[in-house]
Amino acid sequence: MRERRAIMSGSVFEERIGYARAVVDGDRVHVSGTTGFDYATMTISDDVVEQAEQCLRNIGAALEAAGCSFADVVRVRYLLTDRDDFEPCWPVLRRFFGEVRPAATMLVCGLADPRMKIEIEVDAARPWTPDGRDDPAA
Protein backbone atom coordinates (compact mmCIF):
# COMPACT_ATOMS: atom_id res chain seq x y z
CA MET A 1 0.00 0.00 0.00
CA ARG A 2 1.33 3.41 -0.96
CA GLU A 3 2.11 5.75 1.93
CA ARG A 4 0.34 9.10 2.02
CA ARG A 5 0.83 11.44 4.94
CA ALA A 6 0.72 15.14 5.65
CA ILE A 7 3.60 17.04 7.25
CA MET A 8 2.64 20.12 9.23
CA SER A 9 5.02 22.94 10.15
CA GLY A 10 2.90 24.71 12.73
CA SER A 11 2.21 27.69 10.49
CA VAL A 12 -1.10 29.36 11.32
CA PHE A 13 -1.77 29.49 7.57
CA GLU A 14 -1.98 25.69 7.35
CA GLU A 15 -4.79 25.63 9.89
CA ARG A 16 -6.61 28.70 8.60
CA ILE A 17 -6.50 27.70 4.93
CA GLY A 18 -6.55 23.90 5.27
CA TYR A 19 -3.35 22.55 3.73
CA ALA A 20 -0.14 20.79 4.76
CA ARG A 21 3.42 22.09 4.50
CA ALA A 22 4.24 18.91 2.62
CA VAL A 23 2.62 15.69 1.50
CA VAL A 24 4.46 12.39 1.22
CA ASP A 25 2.83 10.36 -1.53
CA GLY A 26 4.66 7.09 -2.06
CA ASP A 27 8.14 7.91 -3.31
CA ARG A 28 7.34 11.59 -3.89
CA VAL A 29 7.32 14.56 -1.55
CA HIS A 30 5.42 17.70 -2.53
CA VAL A 31 6.32 20.77 -0.46
CA SER A 32 3.74 23.55 -0.59
CA GLY A 33 4.61 27.06 -1.60
CA THR A 34 6.67 28.22 1.37
CA THR A 35 7.30 31.83 2.29
CA GLY A 36 9.87 33.56 4.43
CA PHE A 37 7.86 33.55 7.63
CA ASP A 38 9.64 32.27 10.71
CA TYR A 39 6.87 29.99 11.95
CA ALA A 40 8.11 30.05 15.55
CA THR A 41 7.58 33.80 15.80
CA MET A 42 5.30 34.37 12.78
CA THR A 43 7.55 37.23 11.70
CA ILE A 44 8.96 37.96 8.26
CA SER A 45 11.95 40.07 7.19
CA ASP A 46 11.55 43.01 4.82
CA ASP A 47 14.62 41.78 2.89
CA VAL A 48 13.97 39.40 -0.03
CA VAL A 49 17.30 37.59 0.41
CA GLU A 50 16.56 36.96 4.10
CA GLN A 51 13.09 35.77 3.09
CA ALA A 52 14.64 33.35 0.59
CA GLU A 53 16.93 32.00 3.31
CA GLN A 54 13.97 31.46 5.66
CA CYS A 55 11.92 29.86 2.87
CA LEU A 56 14.69 27.33 2.39
CA ARG A 57 15.06 26.67 6.14
CA ASN A 58 11.32 25.99 6.27
CA ILE A 59 11.52 23.73 3.20
CA GLY A 60 14.54 21.92 4.64
CA ALA A 61 12.58 21.11 7.81
CA ALA A 62 9.69 19.70 5.75
CA LEU A 63 12.04 17.63 3.60
CA GLU A 64 13.76 16.25 6.69
CA ALA A 65 10.40 15.29 8.22
CA ALA A 66 9.67 13.42 4.98
CA GLY A 67 12.99 11.56 5.04
CA CYS A 68 14.55 13.67 2.30
CA SER A 69 17.06 16.44 1.83
CA PHE A 70 17.73 19.13 -0.74
CA ALA A 71 19.76 16.52 -2.65
CA ASP A 72 16.45 14.75 -3.42
CA VAL A 73 14.73 17.80 -4.93
CA VAL A 74 13.79 17.28 -8.59
CA ARG A 75 11.65 20.40 -9.18
CA VAL A 76 11.63 23.91 -7.74
CA ARG A 77 9.31 26.83 -8.42
CA TYR A 78 10.14 30.38 -7.42
CA LEU A 79 7.31 32.89 -7.14
CA LEU A 80 8.30 36.53 -6.68
CA THR A 81 6.35 39.76 -6.54
CA ASP A 82 9.12 41.73 -8.31
CA ARG A 83 11.34 40.27 -11.05
CA ASP A 84 14.20 42.54 -9.92
CA ASP A 85 14.29 40.65 -6.59
CA PHE A 86 15.22 37.34 -8.24
CA GLU A 87 18.88 37.97 -9.08
CA PRO A 88 19.85 39.11 -5.55
CA CYS A 89 18.56 35.70 -4.33
CA TRP A 90 20.70 33.67 -6.76
CA PRO A 91 23.65 33.11 -4.36
CA VAL A 92 21.28 31.70 -1.71
CA LEU A 93 19.47 29.51 -4.23
CA ARG A 94 22.75 28.29 -5.71
CA ARG A 95 23.96 27.31 -2.22
CA PHE A 96 20.98 24.96 -1.80
CA PHE A 97 20.45 23.79 -5.39
CA GLY A 98 23.74 24.38 -7.25
CA GLU A 99 24.89 20.76 -7.02
CA VAL A 100 21.38 19.31 -7.22
CA ARG A 101 20.29 21.05 -10.45
CA PRO A 102 16.51 20.49 -10.18
CA ALA A 103 14.18 21.56 -12.97
CA ALA A 104 13.19 25.14 -12.14
CA THR A 105 10.64 27.82 -12.97
CA MET A 106 10.42 31.46 -11.85
CA LEU A 107 7.12 33.34 -11.95
CA VAL A 108 6.25 36.93 -11.10
CA CYS A 109 2.89 37.17 -9.37
CA GLY A 110 1.01 38.58 -6.42
CA LEU A 111 1.34 36.71 -3.12
CA ALA A 112 -1.20 36.31 -0.31
CA ASP A 113 0.35 38.86 2.05
CA PRO A 114 1.94 42.15 0.91
CA ARG A 115 4.95 41.50 3.18
CA MET A 116 5.82 38.37 1.18
CA LYS A 117 8.36 38.90 -1.59
CA ILE A 118 9.22 35.32 -2.48
CA GLU A 119 7.56 31.93 -2.20
CA ILE A 120 9.29 28.65 -3.07
CA GLU A 121 7.83 25.19 -3.63
CA VAL A 122 9.66 21.95 -4.34
CA ASP A 123 9.03 18.36 -5.30
CA ALA A 124 11.44 15.65 -4.21
CA ALA A 125 11.96 11.94 -4.83
CA ARG A 126 12.37 9.96 -1.62
CA PRO A 127 15.59 7.95 -1.36
CA TRP A 128 15.26 4.24 -2.09
CA THR A 129 17.60 1.31 -1.67
CA PRO A 130 18.32 -0.99 -4.66
CA ASP A 131 15.80 -3.54 -3.33
CA GLY A 132 13.05 -0.88 -3.49
CA ARG A 133 12.57 -0.35 0.25
CA ASP A 134 12.89 2.98 1.98
CA ASP A 135 16.45 3.91 2.78
CA PRO A 136 16.78 3.44 6.57
CA ALA A 137 19.46 6.14 6.68
CA ALA A 138 17.04 8.74 5.37
Say how far apart CA 65 and CA 39 lie, in whole Å: 16
Q: List the CATH number of the domain containing 46.
A: 3.30.1330.40
- Domain contains 32: yes
In the chain, the number of structural domains is 1
**CA 4, chain centre distance (Å):** 18
Residue 135, pLDDT above cutoff 90? no
Helix-then-strand count for the chain, H and E: 3, 6
- Domain contains 72: yes
The whole domain housing 20 covers 4-125
CB 6 within 8 A of CB 20: yes
- Domain contains 105: yes
pLDDT band at 134 (very low <50, low <70, confident <90, very high): low
Residue 59, pLDDT above cutoff 70? yes
- Domain contains 133: no
- Domain contains 136: no
Region of poorest pLDDT, from 33-37, 58-62, 121-125, 128-132: 128-132
- Domain contains 112: yes
Burial of 15 (0-12, 13-18, 19+ CB in 10 A): exposed
- Domain contains 10: yes
What is the b/e burial string over 31-49, where b = at least 16 CB atoms within 10 angstroms of the residue's CB? bbbbbbbebeeeebbeebb
- Domain contains 137: no
pLDDT band at 102 (very low <50, low <70, confident <90, very high): very high
Residue type for position 96: F
